[in-house]
């Protein structure tokens, strides 16, 4: 694929998110979702002197976009290990800002072989980390009917998850389901024409979240971010579906993923954060037009107290 940098990923809400980090020229920053490097490059542009940026990505493809800059360290790892790696690199004092753009890079959707998209017929895979064992085919062919239904309901927010799960079980009893096209043929009849694309995307989203343990990883990363930020440091997160958004919103408001409030003696909620955005920032009409994948994006910003 030529033009790798261009086609990799249009950074969503680029200016708003990097402005939201309130960057200090000599600060220490983390981009936990390096991808095409769009956000990281903008952070580096604003740094000077002894400043440093650590960027995480578990996907081998992301390494092609690594920036040659002594102020930059690429960490090929899942962002759930944020705390361990910062400790390893001697950043025990904490960092000044953490950015998370939780969208799957558009590059993944455009790379037919990875099986992330229903636009191409490809093996059911969806692993962000190609070294992992479990693929979406493993799930579709081995999970019980209840496990599949729960998965589609919670991660795909699909109301008819039970019927879809039953159809998958019925089909796989004849022969294993191996490609995105085969899965598509099974689930398509459950969706009405005008909402079909949106609903099919939810099926794929649910499988992708399960394959990559995304919710567990996000929970661990957000908890670690709370501990790793210095007072005055910013947490900046861009989410793309309500499950992620709820977790981000909860941690920023209460310091807990579940949204459990702790109160002081006077009944005031004590949170490790002060909200910078009361309501999420969303892309304007022009950005949504130019980059359709930004349509569901929500940006939230909070400052460590």
**DSSP letters along 102-136, please?**
-SPPHHHHH-GGG---TTS--BS---SSTT-S--H
pLDDT in tens, 253-267: 999 999 999 999 999
And the tokens for 43?
A: 């952070």
Q: What is the mean pLDDT of residues 8-21?
A: 89
> Cα angle at 36 between 30 and 39, to 5 degrees?
40
Instruction: Tokens for 286, please give them.
Output: 């022009």
Per-residue pLDDT, averaged over 188-214, amounts to 91
Place of tokens 């309501």: 279
Torsion of CA 144, 147, 149, 155, to 10 degrees: -150
Tell which wins on pLDDT, 3 or 189: 189
pTM for this prediction: 0.89
Calpha distance 271→251 (Å, rounded): 8
What beta strand segments (E) does 59-192 contain?
72-75, 95-101
The structural architecture, per CATH, of the domain 4-106+214-304 is 3-Layer(aba) Sandwich (3.40)
Residue 1: which pLDDT band, with cuts at 50, 70 and 90? very low
Lowest mean pLDDT among 3-7, 48-52, 163-167: 3-7
Contact 14, 86 (CB under 8 A): no
| 133-211 matches 4-106+214-304 in CATH topology | no
Region 61-78 average pLDDT: 93
Domain 133-211: which CATH class? mainly alpha
Q: Percent of the chain, pLDDT > 90?
A: 79
| pLDDT confidence bin for 286, thresholds 50/70/90 | very high
Q: Where are the domains of the chain?
A: 4-106+214-304, 133-211
């Amino acid at each position: 694929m030529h033009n790798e940098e261009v086609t990799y990923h249009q950074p969503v809400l680029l200016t708003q998110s990097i402005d939201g980090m309130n960057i200090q020229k000599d600060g220490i920053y983390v981009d936990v979702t390096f991808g095409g490097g769009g956000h990281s490059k903008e952070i580096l542009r604003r740094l000077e002197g002894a400043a440093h940026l650590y960027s995480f990505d578990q996907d081998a493809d992301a390494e092609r976009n690594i920036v040659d800059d002594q102020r930059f360290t690429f960490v090929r790892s899942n962002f759930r290990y944020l705390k361990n790696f910062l400790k390893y690199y001697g950043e025990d004092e904490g960092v000044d800002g953490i950015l998370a753009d939780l969208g799957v890079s558009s590059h993944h959707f455009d790379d037919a072989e990875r099986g992330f998209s229903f636009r191409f017929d490809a093996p059911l895979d969806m692993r962000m980390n190609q070294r992992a064992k479990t693929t979406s085919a493993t799930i579709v062919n081995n999970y019980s009917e209840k496990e599949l239904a729960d998965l589609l309901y919670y991660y795909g927010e699909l109301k008819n998850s039970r019927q879809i799960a039953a159809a998958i079980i019925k089909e796989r009893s004849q022969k294993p389901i191996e490609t995105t096209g085969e899965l598509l043929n099974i689930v398509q009849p459950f969706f009405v024409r005008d909402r079909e694309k949106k609903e099919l995307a939810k099926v794929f989203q649910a499988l992708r979240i399960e394959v990559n343990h995304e919710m567990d990883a996000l929970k661990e990363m957000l908890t670690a971010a709370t501990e790793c930020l210095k007072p005055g440091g910013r947490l900046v997160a861009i989410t793309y579906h309500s499950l992620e958004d709820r977790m981000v919103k909860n941690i920023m408001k209460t310091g807990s993923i579940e949204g459990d409030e702790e109160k002081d003696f006077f009944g005031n909620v004590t949170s490790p954060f002060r909200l910078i955005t009361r309501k999420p920032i969303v892309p304007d009409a022009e950005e949504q037009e130019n980059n359709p994948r930004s349509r569901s994006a929500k940006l939230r910003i909070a400052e460590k107290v």
